[in-house]
Amino acid sequence: MTPTLWDVVVIGGGAAGIAAAASLLKRKPHLSVAIVEPNDRHFYQPAWTLVGGGCFNPANTCKATGKLIPNGAKWLRTRVTSLQPEHNQVTLEDGQSLSYQFLVVAPGLELNLGAIAGLENSLGKHGVTSNYLFELAPYTWQCVQQLKRGRALFTQPPMPIKCAGAPQKAMYLSCHHWENTGTLGNIDVQFHNAGAVLFGVADFVPPLMEYVKRYKANLNFSSTLIAVDGPAREATFRRTNGDGISTEHTEPFDMLHVVPPQRAPRFVRDSELANETGWVAVDEATLQHPRFANVFSLGDACGASNAKTAAAVRKQAPVVAENLCAALENRAPTARYEGYGACPLTVEKGKVVLAEFGYQGKLQPSFPLDPTVPRSSMWWLKRHAMPKIYFELMLKGHEWLARPGKL
């Protein structure tokens, strides 16, 4: 029997929603917990970069959502259309409402494909691809293999996006393949970055620049993709100079790897929970909403200033679980999230620079090694260990290397 009032409603059955529900039910298995998630397929998105580099089977990035729902939780296969936190309710696509004692908002984010003119009609053909879509990551690898000469463009939109290193990871793995096949010298590689730096944590820029030089890639900063003409194989960029003056520039391509702009889902952006940029407002340490104390958020939709990665979720889920349990018992929050995120930068097939950092770019390495050095051991971690950690530990509430800090 479905309760009319849930102890906890979790919006989202992706990494964040399932991990939070699992960690919560490990602590309080008798809670009534509903997970609202419309999709019957759950994706391990961190591997899509590897798929695009020919290093991972795409079928192994997808599992049935129903098999991942934690024991004790109820999966409601429907979509949230609006939030009424002042009434402790969420409205579903069929018009029905769910009432809750506590709400965990973890719906992920959406790719704003429409922000780039012509993109939606070009993706998956004409050499236009993106590792940010399950259906297109294999096409990336196809494009990489087929390109023998010409121009390859890789783009990065304005922040925030999920896995800020992924746009350049696509470039590195592509270049490594071309290097190995002897075609790199025939390919003009251009990286167009809407931002002003190669990577947001300065410690990792020097080793990345070594690979940029090795692959003879050209860096274009403050350069934002605004339009794609697939049949003509042309991409238009808006470039902003140091004086803030913008100009538009169109250039031809033979391959175009696009990372589209990203934003919170509309029902979040239009709600009382959103901050000024549309993400769920939270206290950066407790992940609790500043106005609605019975609301928590984690994952890509969360408005904390951390990097939006699955690794961040591994550290966020125990914090949300601990602090929600404290709130259930009318206690103050006890657990602190310190902004941890990780980006395994696949600089070549077989080596990774494992960037682990927290708020303000403070390094938070998990291993007693220089994190700026490309290592084959970190490739093994990325390629072989992390999928198992994700599915067998994180999504089951086993909090490996994820003990929360204390307030």
Q: Using 50, 70 and 90 to split pLDDT, how confident is the model at 4?
A: confident
Q: Supply angle C-alpha 172, 177, 178, rounded to 5.
A: 95
**Secondary structure (3-state) at 68:** coil
Q: Are residues 77 and 119 in the same domain?
A: no
Q: Supply angle C-alpha 237, 47, 49, rounded to 5.
A: 25
Structure tokens at 271: 């709600």
Provide the CATH number for the domain around residue 53. Answer: 3.50.50.60
**Secondary structure (3-state) at 297:** strand
Decide if pLDDT at 250 tops 90: yes
Q: Are residues 11 and 76 in the same domain?
A: yes
Q: Are residues 270 and 337 in the same domain?
A: yes
Looking at 209, 228, 262, the residue that finishes a domain is 262
- Count other C-beta atoms under 10 Å from residue 244's C-beta: 7
Q: Are residues 204 and 234 in the same domain?
A: yes
Q: So which residues are the catalytic ones?
A: 163, 343
- Stretch 245-273: mean pLDDT, rounded? 98
**Secondary structure (3-state) at 203:** helix
Q: Are residues 201 and 278 in the same domain?
A: no
The whole-angstrom separation of Cα 356 and Cα 345 is 10
Q: Is residue 213 part of a domain?
A: yes
Q: Are residues 104 and 116 in the same domain?
A: no
Q: Is residue 352 part of a domain?
A: no
Q: Is residue 373 part of a domain?
A: no
CB 13 within 8 A of CB 309: no
Looking at 242, 262, 282, the residue that finishes a domain is 262
Q: Give the model confidence (pLDDT) of 181-234 as tens digits.
A: 999 999 999 999 999 999 999 999 999 999 999 999 999 999 999 999 999 999
Q: Taking Cα atoms as reference points, which of 145, 164, 144 lies closest to residue 256? A: 144
* pLDDT value of residue 3: 60
The whole-angstrom separation of Cα 192 and Cα 221 is 6
Q: Is residue 339 part of a domain?
A: yes
- Count other C-beta atoms under 10 Å from residue 276's C-beta: 7
Pairing of strands 97-105, 5-11: parallel
> Per DSSP, what are the bridge partners of residue 286?
none
Q: Is residue 36 part of a domain?
A: yes
Q: Give the model confidence (pLDDT) of 27-45 as tens digits.
A: 999 999 999 999 999 999 9
* pLDDT value of residue 2: 57
Q: Which domain holds residue 201?
A: 112-262
Query: How is the chain split among helix, strand and coil, in percent rounded to 5?
Result: 30, 30, 40
The whole-angstrom separation of Cα 244 and Cα 326 is 48
Decide if pLDDT at 92 tops 60: yes
Q: Give the model confidence (pLDDT) of 134-186 as tens digits.
A: 999 999 999 999 999 999 999 999 999 999 999 999 999 999 999 999 999 99
R_g (Cα) of the chain, nearest Å: 21
Q: Are residues 339 and 241 in the same domain?
A: no
Q: Are residues 49 and 188 in the same domain?
A: no
Decide if pLDDT at 1 tops 50: no
Torsion sign across C-alpha atoms 296, 300, 301, 306? positive
* Residues in Cβ contact with 182 at an 8 Å cutoff, skipping those fewer than 6 apart: none
Looking at 262, 295, 329, the residue that finishes a domain is 262
pLDDT above 90 coverage of the chain, percent: 97
Q: Using 50, 70 and 90 to split pLDDT, how confident is the model at 242?
A: confident
Number of folded domains in the chain? Answer: 2
- Stretch 337-357: mean pLDDT, rounded? 99
The whole-angstrom separation of Cα 187 and Cα 12 is 41
Q: Taking Cα atoms as reference points, which of 370, 372, 371, 321 lies closest to residue 24? A: 321
- Residue 99 identity (one-letter amino acid): S
Q: Give the model confidence (pLDDT) of 41-59 as tens digits.
A: 999 999 999 999 999 999 9
Q: Are residues 19 and 154 in the same domain?
A: no
Q: Are residues 63 and 103 in the same domain?
A: yes
The whole-angstrom separation of Cα 217 and Cα 52 is 18
Q: Is residue 299 part of a domain?
A: yes
Torsion sign across C-alpha atoms 154, 156, 161, 166? positive
Q: Are residues 51 and 185 in the same domain?
A: no
- Stretch 244-271: mean pLDDT, rounded? 98
Alpha helices in 104-136 (DSSP H): 119-122
